[in-house]
Structure formats: structure tokens, C-alpha cells
Amino acid sequence: MPKGIPLTPQEQDRRRHEVFAASVHLFLEKGFRETTMHEIAAAAGMGKSTLYDYFKTKDEILTSVVEDAIYDLTEAAQDVAGKDLPATEKIHRLMHNHLDFLLANKEFYSRLSYEVQRLDLESQRRIQARRHGYQDLLRRLVEEAIQEGAFRPVNPLLAARTILTLITPVVFTNRPTGTPEQMMDEALDIFYKGVLA
């Protein structure tokens, strides 16, 4: 776009996502620390100064990529939560959406989770705020399940966090006991029924 003509919010959002796509590709190909802002700008098809109009550092880019991903997950979860279904079915669908998302982005989370953990405190707070929003949505579904009589009265936030931890041994395992979808179903079944005979 010629200099001096402001971009619309939609165009700015599109450019941000082009930066995200270029950055993630380079981070996975070369490594986070080895990738330069100049390389990101070139891969995104913009000048370095234009890139700096959007992001000042690679850390800012990584923070925004993670925030954006959690936002997308939350939007999909809100869509599920709004359906006329039993709460346990909503939880089931939400977790399968989450599973699909992680399987599609497994390499990113496997290889860049350390870089996300070492982000500065403000970036961590931003990401945590998004995570808490997602957890709270699942907590409300647990509360629904309790009201419907499908779950016994439990701490709904702790239950929501526990459900979310089920995803780790399903996606990040080198000893699968079935397809990811089968393992997700079984993990939810174990959570719902417990292991006591």
C-alpha cells in the first residue's frame, strides 16, 4: 500500500497475521533465538521499519501469536457453550476442539514452549489473562454439569483445570494407546467415572 494511506483495521489485522505466519515458520525452521526481525520482515513481505510499527521485538510477536491462538480457542469454545446440549457433551466437544487445535500446532508448542515460558512478566500476564478466560468458560460448563446433576458438587475451577490437563498425555506422548481422539474419549471417561471400582 502506498505510503501515507492508512490501513483499515481489517488490513492491519491481515498484516499482523501475515507476520504471525512468517514468524512461526522461521521460528520452527531456524529457531527462535536465531531468527532476526529483518528475516521476519522479509518473509512477511514488508520493510523492517514497517514491521516495527506492529511489533518492537520477537518476544512481542511470540506473545501475540499465543494470545491470538487462545482467543481463537476461546471463540470456538464459546460457540460450543452456546449450543442446546447437555453440559457434559459441551465439555466433550470443547476438549475435542482443543485436541484438534493442538494436533494441528503440535510442532509449535513442542518446540517453542520454553520460549513462551521465558517471556517477560508483562507478556506472561497477558497470556495468563487469556488462559484464565478460557479456563473460566470451562468452569462455567462444569457448573452447568453440576446443576444438571451430571457431576457431583466439586470445586468447578479445579475440575476445569484438571480436565484441561487431560490433553497433555494425549497429545505429547511417545506411548500412545490409541488414536488421539480415542485417548481423549478415554481420558474424559476416566475423569467422569474415576478409577475406583
For residue 150, the domain's CATH number is 1.10.357.10
Q: Which residue segment(s) compose the domain that 109 sits in?
A: 58-193
pLDDT at res. 1: 41
Within a domain: 36? yes
Q: How far apart are CA 130 and CA 142, in angstroms?
A: 19
pLDDT at res. 142: 98
Within a domain: 161? yes
Within a domain: 52? yes
pLDDT at res. 2: 40
pLDDT at res. 159: 98
Within a domain: 87? yes
Q: Count the neighbouring beta carbons within 10 Å of the beta carbon of residue 15.
A: 19
Last residue of a domain, one of 56, 71, 92: 56
Same domain as 86, residue 52: no
Same domain as 123, residue 87: yes
Same domain as 74, residue 38: no
Assign residue 51 the CATH number of its domain. Answer: 1.10.10.60
Same domain as 160, residue 73: yes
pLDDT at res. 197: 87
Within a domain: 2? no
Global pTM?
0.89
pLDDT in tens for each of the 197 residues of the chain? 445 567 788 888 899 999 999 999 999 999 999 999 999 999 999 999 999 999 999 999 999 999 999 999 999 999 999 999 999 999 999 999 999 999 999 999 999 999 999 999 999 999 999 999 999 999 999 999 999 999 999 999 999 999 999 999 999 999 999 999 999 999 999 999 999 98
Q: How far apart are CA 10 and CA 1, in angstroms?
A: 14
The string of pLDDT tens digits covering residues 78-115 is 999 999 999 999 999 999 999 999 999 999 999 999 99
Same domain as 63, residue 52: no
Among candidate residues 117, 75, 65, the one with its CA nearest the CA of residue 98: 75
Q: How far apart are CA 143 and CA 176, in angstroms?
A: 31
pLDDT at res. 7: 77
Which phi and psi angles does 170 have, rounded to 5°? Answer: -85, -45
The string of pLDDT tens digits covering residues 110-120 is 999 999 999 99
- Number of domains observed in the structure of the chain: 2
Same domain as 74, residue 51: no
Within a domain: 1? no
pLDDT at res. 77: 97
pLDDT at res. 11: 87
Q: Burial of 66 by CB count in 10 Å (0-12 exposed, 13-18 middle, 19+ buried)? A: buried
